[in-house]
Copies of this chain bind each other. A is one copy, B any other.
Amino acid sequence: MSDPTRPELPQEPHPQDGPRTPEESAPQPSRRALFGMLGGGAAGLAVGAAAGAVANSALASGPVGSGTAGATRGVVAFEGAHQAGIVTPAQDRLHFASFEMLHSAGRDELISLLRDWTAAARELTAGRDIGSGAVDGPPLAPPDDTGEAQGLSASNLTLTFGLGRELFADRSLRGGGTEADPFGLRERMPTSFAPLPSFAFDLLDPATTGGDLCVQACADDPQVAVHAIRNLSRIAMGRARIVWSQLGFGRTSSTSQSQETPRNLFGFKDGTANVKAEETKALAQHVWVADGPEWIRGGSYLVARKIAMTIESWDRTTLQEQERVIGRTKGEGGPLSGGGEFTEPDFARTRTSGGTAIDIAAHVRLAHPSKNHGIRLLRRGYNYVDGNNPLGQLGAGLFFISYQSDPSAFVTVQRALKTDALNEYIRHVGSGLWAVPRGVGSGEFVGQALFD
């Protein structure tokens, strides 16, 4: 058995430095080398995507054949006016993590953390190892990169960083009392950055709620997303620690070239009326922050809600009842007032047997912009399954993520859902709100304007 406290072995040539055949001694293509092989194509895409990472959609949804490696090797630009991962076409997989600043960490540590995270994010999103990589560093040091993404492409990885409201507030100390404005940010808090209120039926678990910082890692390969969160978590050591994280899955790109609306675990299409990346005007109105301190202008607010589904109750419900609850057909996803998936619901339409075609408690009615002062949220949620509980019930649901220009937009819609028929089948068990700084330019770090 090895002992980590034993003296380091004297440095010596690697045993495998012995004789090899030419084939064996050929260098293994590293993530770095693999990226280099992409050449101008990837660089061109990076430039094209910089304005908001929208241009990448063609790459995300279709294979880029070149022989040596696989299909979805897309690179989403990290820099831009907005952070990537918001209007970026939804990747297949999610690893979302919430971090807490250590009590010993102050403003300097927060700045250095954001700086180090940004440097790492530039590498990771380009499909490169961090620092000296997984195998190219000194043998007597722990590798800079944990290595499980070696040989994998960037897989359209995006890393989106958010700041919790706690960073702008006083800090409670363990021994009692408070530390005033530990990060010196109080003056920089946007007035719209109000905490989420308690909602009807909230059953929030503190273990999956809140956090000083969040990182949303999305990629087409779960191992790439997990690798990113793991390495960012490592980099945070001594400054912040991960408090909770969530894996999720959505579409599988290789089966969705038609970009069909994906289904949630209730079996219904989810996201039909979402704000689309191409709706520049709607994005400016509903997603991007236009005023307030400079660091948040061009940014957004991220709301995450872990919504557990009582799958077993739902599965025992009739098709008619399921469709009444949602207000759409289960097959095509058209509104019950008639038409196809993208037909606007007609909430006034009545049935011959009386009542409205779309129930007064149907989810689609209560969540609709026409019932919410025109509010639209950009939703970017993922299905999750955390295994089973001891009763044999699936620990499954929707990890809801929405982006909006003002947290109050989410609050308005969520309050409107108080009478949602869907509430019988869901439980909100986790929650978080973070301010997402605007995107970074060359040489900048995420949130830099916050400290200027």
Contacts and interface: CB of A to CB of B under 8 A. Distances in A.
A436 B395 CA distance: 27
Contact of A267 (B63, B97, B150, B325): B150
A388 B243 contact: yes
Given A142-B315, A244-B388, A339 B20 contact: yes
Interface centre among A14, A256, A329, A331 (most CB of B within 10 A): A331
B16 A68 contact: no
Contact of A147 (B4, B247, B268): B268
Question: Chain A contact residues (Cβ within 8 angstroms of B): what range?
Answer: 35 or more
Contacts of A265: 146, 148, 226
Interface string A308-348: 00011101111111111100011110111111100100000
Nearest to A337: B15
A254 B255 contact: no
Contacts of A371: none
Interface stretch (A22-30, A39-47, A177-185): A22-30
Contacts of A20: 338-340
A82 interface: no
B220 A331 contact: no
Number of copies: 2
Interface in A56-115: 63, 68-73, 95, 97
Interface string A234-256: 10000001111111011011111
A173 interface: no
Interface centre among A257, A319, A396 (most CB of B within 10 A): A319
B63 A254 contact: yes
Interface string A345-378: 0000101110001100100000000000000000
B263 A151 contact: yes
* Interface residue SS majority, chain A: loop
A18 B244 CA distance: 48
A19 interface: yes
B148 A263 contact: yes
A89 to B, nearest CB: 14
A345 to B, nearest CB: 11
A361 B3 CA distance: 12
Contact of A386 (B8, B351, B387, B390): B387
Nearest to A256: B70
Given A24-B334, A142-B319, A329 B243 contact: no
A2 B321 contact: yes
Contacts of A153: 255
A24 B340 contact: yes
Nearest to A139: B320
A24 B9 CA distance: 72
A222 interface: yes
A146 B264 contact: no
A135 B418 CA distance: 28
A392 interface: yes
Contacts of A319: 135, 137-143
A419 interface: yes
Nearest to A70: B255
A443 to B, nearest CB: 29
A408 interface: no
Given A148-B266, A338-B16, A1 B63 contact: no
Given A70-B257, A230-B394, 12 more contacts: A4-B316, A12-B352, A23-B340, A71-B254, A71-B255, A72-B254, A134-B330, A139-B318, A147-B330, A233-B392, A247-B387, A253-B254
30 contacts: A1-B361, A2-B361, A2-B424, A4-B316, A13-B352, A15-B336, A15-B338, A16-B336, A16-B337, A18-B337, A20-B339, A20-B340, A24-B339, A28-B332, A63-B63, A68-B258, A70-B253, A70-B257, A72-B255, A137-B319, A139-B318, A143-B330, A150-B331, A155-B252, A222-B252, A230-B311, A243-B392, A244-B387, A253-B254, A386-B386
A-B interface, 9 closest residue pairs, ranked by CB to CB distance from nearest: A147-B267, A70-B255, A241-B392, A15-B357, A135-B331, A139-B320, A71-B254, A221-B252, A24-B340
